[in-house]
Structure 1
Amino acid sequence: MTTTTTLITGATRGIGLEAARRLSEAGHRVLLGARDLSRGREAAHRVGAHPLMLDVTDDASVEAAAQRVADEVGRLDVLVNNAGITGALHTCADEITAADLLACYDTNVFGAVRMMHAFTPLLRKSARPVVVNVSSGLGSLAAATDPGARAEFTPTWIPVPVYASSKAALNMVTVQYAHAHPEMRINAVDPGHTATDFNGHAGPQTVEEGAEIVVRMADAGSDAPTAGYFAAAGPVPW
């Protein structure tokens, strides 16, 4: 049986690292993307993965990583676009600048686009190509505009225009890629408010709980949905 090769970006800590651990235990060959190779090696050793030098904000780094995967494996079965930053998290709408958005989007949106551009040829060589874009409930327009949807799906919703708009943009990118590649399973996921270094360990969920939907969608079969937006409890409204 062919081993599933899975690449997770931004996977040296938090949800990405936990997903790497769980998928490695499930039998995947996990490539652990890291901007800092020494940290990547340490993290990969801890969870049984393989370190891969990768900075999603750098075209050359992404292309080099794709070439390495092409040379060493020849294909990619699962891509988890997990790398993300909060950006100017506590800046109110009338204070944000275009530079604030550009910095956040460079990782959260353009990073995923760089990865898709470089790795789509390798995903096409897989018998069951899967892409999981790690989004957030804060990127839901329904939660932002409907108090009922907010209470049900994003109870810890806060007004964070830079980060939230980047995740809303990532959701649209996800759907557009899913329409362009019906042979792939391409979805956005909302891990929920999880206690990690990303948010100063402020979330009520454990990292194990947060990684659940990432792992589930990454390990999905060819009959899995596509062009969807999911949390552990089920679909999230756009």
Structure 2
Amino acid sequence: MNTPSRIALVTGATRGIGFETVKQLAEAGVHALLAGRNRERAVDAALKLQVLGLPVEAITLDVTDADSIATAAKEIEQRHGRLDILVNNAGIVIDDAQKGVSGQSLDTWRKTFDTNVFGLIATTQALLPLLRKSQAGRIVNVSSLLGSLSEHQNPESFIYGIKGVPSYNVSKSAVNAWTIHLAHELRDSGIKVNTIHPGYVKTDMNKAGDEQNGELEVADGARTSVRLALVADDGPTGGYFYFDQVLPW
């Protein structure tokens, strides 16, 4: 059984912020499990980091598939016996911005919540027994400033007028609420649970047609997740962060 100092799993990690989170964790000496719903893509992504000498391995995990989650949990247990860090990074945005808040189909809402909320919860529930075996478990839920109810009601906020992706926004508000509740449950366990805003990052998710939107490079977009994944025993739990900034719920 392989037992390095720390073992991390990052979901949705075949590209973008998830891939960069794996890279930065591995560079910090963490044995990183790069999870993707497509096995071939996960392996290809892991190989790109392995050739750099980084301790990365691929694992298949589709957060919307209960069997896939269960298989991944069993595989981690057999290979490593525990999990130290879980970064719930997988997420989608499929709203049609032209349809507004009331025009999004129920199918859009259901698909968004299946990945962004229910998939996150199901993955966490399945891996929590392995995190309890860690001496210092860490859970990082990747949310967004778009999940902040306070900022959505603040006319001075950058996001005040961004209401065209409602199922995404509300799903991230739900992620924030789940984080608060789980952190409270685990407050005496040593497992720290936090949620983060990665920033407005130059990723495929933030593309508008052929234009690449975003302000931050992908490497910067991964930094908050990595910081909370590696937070010390006296660090925060039940918080909502962007770099070192505490965000309003």
TM-score category of the 2 structures, normalised to the smaller one: over 0.9
Q: Is the 8 A contact 1:186 1:226 kept in 2?
A: yes
| Whole-angstrom CA distance in 2 between matches of 1:89 and 1:172 | 25
Q: Which amino acid aligns with 2:206?
A: N
| Partner of residue 85 from structure 2, selected from 50, 53, 78 | 78
Does 2:36 correspond to 1:60?
no
Quote the offset at 1:98 in angstroms: 2.3
Quote the offset at 1:210 in angstroms: 0.8
Counterpart of 1:115 in structure 2 is 123
Counterpart of 1:96 in structure 2 is 104
Counterpart of 1:30 in structure 2 is 32
Query: Deviation digits for residues 153-193 of structure 1, max 9, x if unmatched?
Result: x5884542111000001110111111111121100000011
Counterpart of 1:198 in structure 2 is 205
- Which aligned segments of 4 or more residues in structure 1 are displaced greater than 4 angstroms? 154-158
Quote the offset at 1:144 in angstroms: 0.5
Query: Deviation digits for residues 195-233 of structure 1, max 9, x if unmatched?
Result: 011222311111011111011111112211000000014
Counterpart of 2:41 in structure 1 is 39
Counterpart of 1:213 in structure 2 is 224
| Whole-angstrom CA distance in 2 between matches of 1:236 and 1:89 | 27
Q: Is the 8 A contact 1:80 1:131 kept in 2?
A: yes
| Whole-angstrom CA distance in 1 between matches of 2:114 and 2:102 | 21
Does 2:189 correspond to 1:187?
no
Say which SS state the counterpart of residue 86 (structure 2) adopts: strand
Answer with 78-87 or 199-208: which moved more. Answer: 199-208
Counterpart of 1:21 in structure 2 is 23
| Whole-angstrom CA distance in 1 between matches of 2:57 and 2:160 | 36
- Aligned residue pair count: 235
Say which SS state the counterpart of residue 32 (structure 2) adopts: strand
Q: Which amino acid aligns with 1:226?
A: T
Q: Kindly tell me: are residues 34 and 193 of structure 1, through their superposed partners in 2, closer, same or farther at Cα, counting changes over 3 Å?
A: same
RMSD: 1.5
Q: Is the 8 A contact 2:101 2:163 kept in 1?
A: no
Query: Deviation digits for residues 57-92 of structure 1, max 9, x if unmatched?
Result: 000000000000011100000000000000214131
Q: Kindly tell me: are residues 95 and 155 of structure 1, through their superposed partners in 2, closer, same or farther at Cα, counting changes over 3 Å?
A: closer
Q: Kindly tell me: are residues 208 and 158 of structure 1, through their superposed partners in 2, closer, same or farther at Cα, counting changes over 3 Å?
A: farther
Q: Is the 8 A contact 1:89 1:162 kept in 2?
A: no
| Whole-angstrom CA distance in 2 between matches of 1:17 and 1:33 | 9
Quote the offset at 1:30 in angstroms: 0.2
TM-score by length of 1: 0.95
Q: Which amino acid aligns with 2:44?
A: E
Query: Deviation digits for residues 118-144 of structure 1, max 9, x if unmatched?
Result: 001000000000000000000000110
Identity of aligned residues (%): 40
Q: Is the 8 A contact 1:156 1:193 kept in 2?
A: no
Counterpart of 1:69 in structure 2 is 76
| Whole-angstrom CA distance in 1 between matches of 2:163 and 2:46 | 34
